[in-house]
Structures are given as C-alpha cells and as structure tokens.
A and B are shown apart, each in its own frame.
Chain A
Amino acid sequence: MINDKWKTRNENRLIMKNPINGLNKVFDNRIRLGVMSILIVNEQVNFNDLKQMLEVTDGNLATHLVNLEDNGYIKVHKGFVGRKTNTTYVATKAGEKAFTDHIAALENMIKGVK
C-alpha cells in the first residue's frame, strides 16, 4: 500500500477516489483509535481511566500507548499521587492533526459512497 504521507496535495486529491489511502494506518487498530478519541475530548487522562473506558488489559493498552507515543501522537506524563505512580497521557499537536485528517478521510469515504 502506498503511504500518502509523501504525496502532494494534488496527488492526494486524486487518491480520494481510492479512499483507503486517506486513512491513517496507526488508527487501523481500534484501541489506538479509541485512545485518540478519548484524548481529543479530554485534556489529560490517566492509564486506569483509559483502561476502564476501553475495557482492555494492562499489557494490551500499554503496547498501543507505546506505539502512539513512538508516532509522536501522544505525550506521557509520569507523576505521583501519594506514593502511587499516576501516568497521564495527552494528545500532541501532531496527534490531533493526524486524528482530524483520519476523520476527514472517513468523511470523504462516506461522501464518495453517496
């Protein structure tokens, strides 16, 4: 599959006919997409709240959070509440843009279908 990151805007427009290319592969995964959806509407969310909201296991969630962090879509803040570690996650500017682009691509697909 062609990565549309390297395409110019004009080429992107052509690609819209083949809508799969407008979608972000990072968000192929539902957990990563869910994490981003939550972080877009909530300033910062800790690990346990994400886990509760998405109903996933610790290990599973941790893997996907590392992936999002590696892509530069989220930032990790390690803090303490008393003696317990409290790790919170925040969406980065790049993450917000990637997410809105992904939504736009989905919307274009819907328009294309009509």
Chain B
Amino acid sequence: MSEQNQHGYSTTSSRGAQPLQEISDIKRIMERSSRFISLSGLSGIAAGLCALVGAYVADNILKDYYFKLDHGAAFTNNDFNLLEIKLVILAVGVLLASLILAFVFTWRRARQNHLPVWDLTARKLLWNLLLPLIAGGLFVLAMLQYGEWHFVAPACLVFYGLALVNGSKYTLSDVRYLGYSEIILGLISTQFIHSGLYFWGIGFGILHIIYGGIMWWKYERGQ
C-alpha cells in the first residue's frame, strides 16, 4: 500500500495498482474536490439551540410590548421603535452566535479528520449558500422597509431552504432534506401569519437540532 494523503488519495504509486482500487481512488478525489464534507452535525445542533433561545427571548420581548400596549396608558411611538431595535439586535446576535458556534464545530471536525477547513470546496459551498441568503436577506429588509412584517418568518424559512438545497450539491447531500423541510415549513407558515415566530423557532431551532442529531449519529458517532 502506498501512503495516502489527507484526501485519501495516493499520489506516490504508479500503475500496477488494482483497477478497483484505482477507480475508488478516482471517485474519492472527485468527491473530496467537489464536496465540503467536514460540516459537523454538532454545528446544526448548536445553531438550533441558539435559535430556540433567540425565539424565546423574542417571545418575551413581544409579550412585554403587547402587555404594555394593552394596559399602559402612556404608549408612545418610542415604544415601537425600541421594540424594533431590540428585535434587530437580538436577530443579529442570534445569527452571529450560531455562525460562530457552527464554525467552531465544523473546524474541529475538519481538524480531527486532518482536512483543510478553508479550501476549494469550502469556498464553493459558502458562495452557493450565500447567494440565495443574501438575496433573501435583502428581500426581507425591503419588506420591513414598507412595514410588511407578516411574511418575514416565511421568507426567512423559504430563502434559507433554497440556500440549503442549492448548497447541498457542494456538501453532504443530506443537507438537501433539511432544505426541503425549511421550504415546506416556510410555505405552510404563510397561512399562519400571526404565528411567525413559532414557525421561525421550529424551522431554525427544532429542525436544525433534529438534522444535526441525525448527521452526528450517522457520520460522527464513532469518531
């Protein structure tokens, strides 16, 4: 056996290898050069927990606001602005926390497997995820610009689902099923516009945790 490098592809031996071995080597290098496989299930679980905490805090902020609205005589426009600012800060915080945690677990897994965390496949995956996400993010901001907040949660879920389906070509193909689930959930939530936060919590929290758990069980349990 010749020595294999981090991608499991042997570059030292020449002809004389078994054809079956050679074909499986070719297949492996094709996979490794086109898919980012270090994505950790724990990243999904961590992101899901962040989302659940975020949704819980947002729920409390909203309850406070409505409580004041119903009982407070001295409601001002200022209260509404404050609510908006609080929710935006919360959303950014949740996003950053989940991104950082997701990165940490994936980085850890790449290191365990002696794979580079930032390579051709990582760049491709990131670009294919970011394209629908940026489009979706701008779309949601434009909705908020016109005071249209009913469809914020559905739009987040649908665009995120599309991003995952798009990105699944460049990472573990299981991600595709998470994407489908997010799209379906997003479309369902368009019919329950007053429960947006709950759907948001299910999509970004619970689905992530379920998906991450399955991925961890499937690929990382033994490591």
- Which of these, A30, A38, A52, A106, contacts B19 with CB under 8 Å? A106
Chief secondary structure at chain A's binding surface: helix
CB distance B15 to A28 under 8 Å?
Answer: yes
CB distance A38 to B33 under 8 Å?
Answer: yes
Query: How far, in whole Å, are A106 and B19 apart by their CA atoms in the complex?
Result: 5
Query: Interface residue count for B (Cβ, 8 Å)?
Result: 24
Given A106-B19, A106-B22, A53–B11 Cβ distance below 8 Å? no
Query: Interface residue count for A (Cβ, 8 Å)?
Result: 26
Q: Which residues of A contact B5 (CB under 8 A)?
A: 54-55
Query: How far, in whole Å, are A107 and B14 apart by their CA atoms in the complex?
Result: 18
CB distance B26 to A29 under 8 Å?
Answer: no
Query: How far, in whole Å, are A52 and B119 apart by their CA atoms in the complex?
Result: 8
Q: Is B112 at the interface (CB under 8 A from chain A)?
A: no
Q: Is A49 at the interface (CB under 8 A from chain B)?
A: yes
| Extra contacts besides A30-B12, A31-B11, A110-B20 (14): CB < 8 Å | A30-B11, A30-B14, A30-B25, A33-B26, A37-B29, A37-B30, A41-B34, A42-B33, A42-B120, A45-B33, A52-B116, A53-B32, A53-B119, A106-B23
Interface residues of B (CB under 8 A from A): 5-7, 9-15, 19-20, 22-23, 25-26, 29-30, 32-34, 116, 119-120
